Amino acid sequence: MTSLIPVTTTRLGEHLPLLELLPDAQPFAWVRSGEGIVGWGVHATTTVSGPHRFADARHWWQKQLEGFAVTNTVHGNGTGPVLFSSFSFSPEDVSVLVIPKVIVGKKGDKSWITWIGSDPQPVLNSLAPMLPKLSVTWEIDAKSAEVWKSRVQTAIDRIAAQELEKVVLARDAEGTSQTPIDPRSILRTLALEYPSTWNFCVSGLVGATPELLLRLTKSMVTSRVLAGTISKTGDDERDLALAASLARSSKDLEEHEYAVRSVADAIEPFCTSINVPESPFVLHLANVMHLATDVTGALAETLAHVDAFTILEQLHPSAAVCGTPRPQAAKLISEIEAMSRGRYAGPVGWIDAAGDGELGIALRCGQIKGDSIRIFAGCGIVAGSNPDKELAESEAKFLPMRSALL
């Protein structure tokens, strides 16, 4: 008989800066405003793909949990063993699942550490290592902007022909550094510049997403929907006027309504009640403003075995990253986008042993591969879209990663 592997969670007496603890260049992170969880080391990892990848991920996670003997004196979401998950946008691409050897978490006045194995509690070093300064050179393709605008126009024409109501089109950019790219320096920069976003890193996919796809905690479901964007100027008075225009924009309100409706429709079968605010608020980030709506719901107690995997399977892909209706939008993306999104625009975050968790949509991010990185940006296309404006919006969405790589 195979002996169980010990997993220990204990409270920490001091509050350490999470992103300063990471001891190597393969970190795991989900941090917002200094709270969240980080991890390092790999106890176990696997990949899943195909139409049943969420169910396959659940099955693998549950099999791993069966091999653990957990001692948890802290309790609550994110304590005990944790699975970091980064799912692909498309079923055909590869999703990555990792159980870190060490997890450190912070929420409110509570900090904790979890480690796997019979070794003593790991010693934490909050002295941030000096990281090499990044300097990334971006590939310049003069034709790529015009090609992408033509794809946007194709989408607008298809919407005018009433084939669909909305589609999200993405583009990418590739950069190369003279040294291997360390995601820890990117995480720290993003956390300073975009503290209200969720800073994440899973297996080389690193970024700062403003969009929470799913928080599941104590049978409460929350999803923050973003759709409708306008760039900031840096002039407070001017930006207030722009925020007001965004809140009145029929084009952006239409795009936002599709995204909110898709999330509400996805979680409704699992909930006894749902709260969808009548109108969105304007979320101010460092470089852009978004129309935002927080959709919340109470899980039905009569439904057995509803966990984060169950809800993700219904939520992804939402209209915020795919379009409306979803099948037609996904088909058009496959037809005209001309690139693989990989794990960009897929669910990213963590799931605990209870099946609760927090996962965002992998936006404002890049995929690191040695000394190179591929960054992404996407825009929602509706009937009132304009290719030049969508190109400008995509450039604004590249900015967080570009500036973190200077």
CA-to-CA distance for 402 and 24, rounded, in angstroms? 23
Question: So where are the chain's domains?
Answer: 5-120+135-404
pLDDT at 22: 93
Q: Which pLDDT band, with edges at 50, 70 and 90, does 301 fall under? A: confident
Average pLDDT of the residues in 121-135: 79
* CATH, domain 5-120+135-404, list 1.10.580.10, 1.10.10.10, 3.60.120.10, 3.30.70.2190: 3.60.120.10
pLDDT at 1: 53
Q: Which pLDDT band, with edges at 50, 70 and 90, does 286 fall under? A: confident
pLDDT at 134 > cutoff 90 = no
Average pLDDT of the residues in 347-366: 97
**Residue 293 β-bridge partners:** 225
Average pLDDT of the residues in 367-380: 96
* Cβ atoms of residues 28 and 105 within 8 Å: no
Burial zone of 2 (CB within 10 Å; 0-12 exposed, 13-18 middle, 19+ buried): exposed
Continuous segment of H or E residues that includes residue 243: helix 236-248
Q: What percent of the chain has pLDDT over 70?
A: 99
Instruction: Quote the tokens at residue 406.
Output: 């200077």
Tell me the C-alpha to C-alpha distance, in Å, between residue 215 and each of 219, 296, 344, 347.
10, 9, 19, 11
What does pTM read for this prediction?
Answer: 0.94
pLDDT at 127: 65
Average pLDDT of the residues in 316-322: 92
Average pLDDT of the residues in 180-189: 94
**Residue 358 β-bridge partners:** 215, 350
Instruction: Quick: pLDDT tens for 57-104.
Output: 999 999 999 999 999 999 999 999 999 999 999 999 999 999 999 999
Q: Where are the beta strands (DSSP E) in 186-303?
A: 198-202, 205-209, 212-217, 220-231, 271-275, 281-284, 288-299
Instruction: Quick: pLDDT tens for 238-258.
Output: 999 999 999 999 989 988 998
pLDDT at 128: 64
Average pLDDT of the residues in 164-187: 94
Least confident of 130-144, 239-253, 298-312: 130-144
pLDDT at 384 > cutoff 60 = yes
pLDDT at 349: 98
**Residue 283 β-bridge partners:** 290
CA-to-CA distance for 276 and 69, rounded, in angstroms? 41
Instruction: Quick: pLDDT tens for 259-273.
Output: 899 999 999 999 999
pLDDT, mean over the chain: 94
